Structure 1
């Protein structure tokens, strides 16, 4: 699992981004991944661990299986 810091997350829009600790490009995170991970919310500056999943249609990666680190 990778670790990163929540850069920003907007619950109204239902998405945000995580800045990986390894310095790679920011990772998209959708509200559905947060809900499936049984987290109440993501807040700016929160450190989380996550796995990357590639979307079959778009080919873009997003964070899934989130856990508070």
Structure 2
């Protein structure tokens, strides 16, 4: 599992971005890949999975 912080999340559109704590890379996250409800600036743990446009955050949980 990776650790990161929610940089942006749009509830109405159901997507956002998570910034990896170690690498500072940003990953797309979709509401369908959330375990817990998230908001901007939440600390989270997540896994990465190859998506159509690169790596996506999946199994996203509050840390």
What's the TM-score, normalizing by structure 2? 0.89
Residue segments in structure 2 that go unaligned for 5+ positions in a row: none
Larger strand fraction of residues: 2
Give the corresponding residue for 1:19: 19
Residue 33 of structure 2 aligns to a residue in which SS?
helix
Cα distance in 2, alignment partners of residues 23 and 30 from structure 1:
21
The RMSD of aligned alpha carbons is 1.2
Asked if 1:47 is matched to 2:43, the reply is: yes
Task: Please state how far the C-alpha of 1:59 moved relative to its aligned partner.
Answer: 5.1
For residues 14-34 of structure 1, give each alpha carbon's deviation from its aligned partner in whole angstroms, at most 9, with x where no partner exists: 100011101332011001111
Provide the aligned length of Structure 1 versus Structure 2.
63
Structure showing greater Rg: 1
TM-score, normalization: structure 1? 0.82
Which blocks of at least 5 consecutive residues in structure 1 are unaligned?
Answer: none
